[in-house]
Amino acid sequence: MSVLTDLIYAGSDAVAGLTEGLVSDAINQYGAEKTIAFPDTAYFLPTIYAATGVKVKTLGDLPACVDVLKSLISKKEDLGEALNAGLATAVGAEIIEALKYVGKEDPYADEAGIGFVPDPVIRSLGVPLVTGDIPGVAVVLGKAEDASAAADVVKDYQSKGILTFLVGDIIDQIADAGVKMGLEFRVVPLGHDVTAVTHAVTVAIRAALIFGNITPGDLPGLLAYTKERVLAFVNTFGALNEIAVSAGAGAIALGFPVIVDIDLAENQVPGALESVLDHKETVKHSLNLRGIRIKIKEIPIPVAFAAAFEGEIIRKNDMHAEFSSQKNPAFELVAMRQENEVEDHKLTLVGPDIDGEAPVGLPLGVVVEIYGAKMQADFEPVIERKLHHWLNYIEGVMHTGQRNLIHIRIHKDAYEKGLRLKDLAEALYCMVMDEFDSVVDKCQVTLYTEKDTVAQLLDTVAMPRYDARDERLNSMNDESCDTFYSCILCQSFAPSHVCIITPERLGLCGAVSWLDAKATKELTPLGPCQPVPKEGCLDEVKGVYTEVNKAVEAASQGMVQNVTLYSLMQDPMTSCGCFECICGIEPFSNGVIIVNREYKGMTPLGMSFGELASMTGGGVQTPGFMGHGRHFISSKKFISAEGGVERIVWMPKELKDAVGDKLNATAKELYGIDNFIDMIGDETITEDPEALLNFLTEKGHPVLGLAPLM
């Protein structure tokens, strides 16, 4: 055998022996009936479940898995057989890591790593993965001889938006170098043991199950999906032991190339296992091997600018400056102007900057004025919503809200590096011209920080503009519209999924409205959003149109032939997996429950969000269940074929609070019901279906008088 295969088999043997011993010890200590599970997942032990279809629930299920693991270690010279041994190592690593959770709620509480990545986190990553805000996934493990060079590699990935998982002593080295880490920064420490690499592997594997509709047990389909659709790769730093080599073989089997910083000489496998000795070339080489192309956004500001900083939280004690609508007048406005009213790249600050002793508190008016021969007024709010993301991309800037309800904080470190208000204007200018260049010819940005001026502009310029838009949006409905839009943005993950977006039904991810889809079509004529004529109405109540069916069948490559826009029971729209909420039938009450991705508890259906999502996503139609966005809940078109919002009987309290006012307004307008939200159950009232029925009866919920759903 070659040196490479020898190392792979030695590593898989070591992991197999360790796994078998730990399983035996755990059964002796806890008993075979003891539950084993990773937290907040519907996919059991995901690697085993995806590869074999076996649902591991107790310690007694593990000995059979160990037998399967050992059967994969054939010790033949063939590299393909050796890669199977690498998969055996992945299975063993998963079992070893899962055993850490037996008897412990969080075995990673006392170390830098986070361990297992829950399902909701993966679903939340769906949109940035398909939009390219996260263009790829890097797994970085080992211990670098040159910690500074390794930190530069990780920072380079961070600046490019790559989601980076860290395993081993590299975690401490990166932390010591001052790299910001955590899910919010997309540099995620998993754990110091090499077996923690399984937590990166299961992210890729669950992507196949969540988004790709891969059937558990379909190992060839799983491997094809991870290779073709999960753009991941592995970087190792420092000397390799046999377990690391075997784990790398498992990564290669999944389609993820491994790039090492030691000389492998003749043991390299082009395209799969390669040496890069110059760390300055590591990032470029890794991205090339996976075919990841990064559009570099060079923003001339004194801090980094990347999507990886979007989740940064700035605490009160760490902030240098703050702009808050609760304390001072503040607003953001994008306004279309005539050509002679805009001077391109004119950046103006009217009022004081943030110089001074922290914390600096100022009013803030942000006015982005645009001219474009193809610009439309409908694009103003689309661009305006992007300001939130772009300001968050600036390292050391935190932004929440929109319009005249905004909150911005600037970190002390960013201020010390030289960040000033004109840098925010520079970033906005550059991004407007970069992302909307097909409709924007000229752009100027003005920031106002004088209180009287900001208040006057808010009253006389911004609010009238907001009101005019709201009036326009409120007048838009599906009946008055002659064009819908298809969106296939998520097909990079869910090949058969197609959203049909209407004025009253946004994309299920919550990120694409009808105006967004219209703007996307203008910006990228051959892009993911295409117009669908609202023609050939076959059923107005259910929302069945021949042209919609044609568009869905074409866009799904024939996988889906018929879709209703307003029905939960007949041909509901497919779901990709990154939906904000799930609606499902609650048979006791003859109603429906809605659960949002953030909710971690149980529902009256006896299933968590993750369990409901496992049967709803993947680009398939599941009558009685559908994924959707938060804002669709209060729509007049929400499951209107089955009675509409009157069917809603339960949702988590956080979601009730968020949609309550709008849902009350819809129920009042459609059915004359006052305070409808008070008739809806939540987890503080009950999670039991029979108790829920009693609550609904007590409240006189209208669902009790509706016709049966089934």
Q: Which residue reads 């008070």 in tokens? A: 678
Q: Which of 577, 571, 574 is nearest to 614 (CA)?
A: 577
Looking at CATH, the fold of the domain delimited by 320-459 is given as: 3.30.1650
Residues in the chain: 710
Please state, in angstroms and rounded to a whole number, the distance separating the CA atoms of residues 321 and 324: 10
Residue 80 CB neighbours (<10 A): 9
Instruction: Please state the separation of Cα 710 from the chain's center in Å.
Output: 34
Residue 557 CB neighbours (<10 A): 11
Please state, in angstroms and rounded to a whole number, the distance separating the CA atoms of residues 567 and 624: 9
Please state, in angstroms and rounded to a whole number, the distance separating the CA atoms of residues 601 and 462: 41
Please state, in angstroms and rounded to a whole number, the distance separating the CA atoms of residues 645 and 638: 6
Phi-psi region of 325 (alpha: psi -120 to 50; beta: other; left: phi over 0): alpha
The bridge status of strand 187-191 relative to strand 163-167 is parallel
pLDDT > 90? residue 617 = no
pLDDT > 60? residue 123 = yes
277 or 131, which is more confident: 277
Spell out the residues 6+ positions from residue 437 whose beta carbon is closer than 8 angstroms to its own. Answer: none
pLDDT > 90? residue 137 = yes
What's the pLDDT at 121? Answer: 93
Residues of the chain with CATH 3.30.1650.10: 320-459
Confidence of residue 158 (pLDDT cuts 50, 70, 90): very high
Please state, in angstroms and rounded to a whole number, the distance separating the CA atoms of residues 399 and 594: 29
Give the type of residue at 500. Answer: I
Confidence of residue 244 (pLDDT cuts 50, 70, 90): very high
Tens of pLDDT along 496-511?
999 999 999 999 998 8
Cβ proximity of 423 and 345 under 8 Å: no
pLDDT > 80? residue 382 = yes
Spell out the residues 6+ positions from residue 428 whose beta carbon is closer than 8 angstroms to its own. Answer: 366, 368, 387, 390, 391, 445
Please state, in angstroms and rounded to a whole number, the distance separating the CA atoms of residues 352 and 453: 12
Confidence of residue 77 (pLDDT cuts 50, 70, 90): confident
Is the omega angle on the peptide bond into residue 359 within 30 degrees of 0, that is, cis? yes
The predicted model gives 108-133 an average pLDDT of 91
Is domain 3-290 annotated with CATH 3.40.50.2030?
Answer: yes
Confidence of residue 75 (pLDDT cuts 50, 70, 90): confident
pLDDT > 50? residue 1 = no
* Percentage of residues in the chain having pLDDT higher than 70: 100
Of 193-197, 230-234, 296-300, which range is least confident?
296-300
Residues of the chain with CATH 3.40.50.2030: 3-290
Residues of the chain with CATH 3.40.1470.10: 483-705
Confidence of residue 50 (pLDDT cuts 50, 70, 90): very high
Residue 526 token pair: 């051959």
pLDDT > 90? residue 74 = no
Cβ proximity of 107 and 39 under 8 Å: no
Confidence of residue 261 (pLDDT cuts 50, 70, 90): very high
Give the CA angle between residues 665, 669, 671 to the nearest 5°: 110
pTM, 2 dp: 0.90
CA torsion 50→52→57→58, rounded to 10°?
-140
What's the pLDDT at 634? Answer: 96
Looking at CATH, the fold of the domain delimited by 483-705 is given as: 3.40.1470
The predicted model gives 229-243 an average pLDDT of 96
Write down the mean pLDDT value for the chain: 95
Cβ proximity of 649 and 586 under 8 Å: yes
Q: Which DSSP string do the residues of 209-276 spell out, in sequence order?
A: HHHS-PPTT-HHHHHHHHHHH--EEEEEES---HHHHHHHHHHHHTT--EEESS--GGG-BTTTEEE-
The predicted model gives 312-332 an average pLDDT of 96
What's the pLDDT at 608? Answer: 94
Spell out the residues 6+ positions from residue 542 whose beta carbon is closer than 8 angstroms to its own. Answer: 564, 565, 566, 567, 570, 641
Tens of pLDDT along 639-684?
999 999 999 999 999 999 999 999 999 999 999 999 999 999 999 9
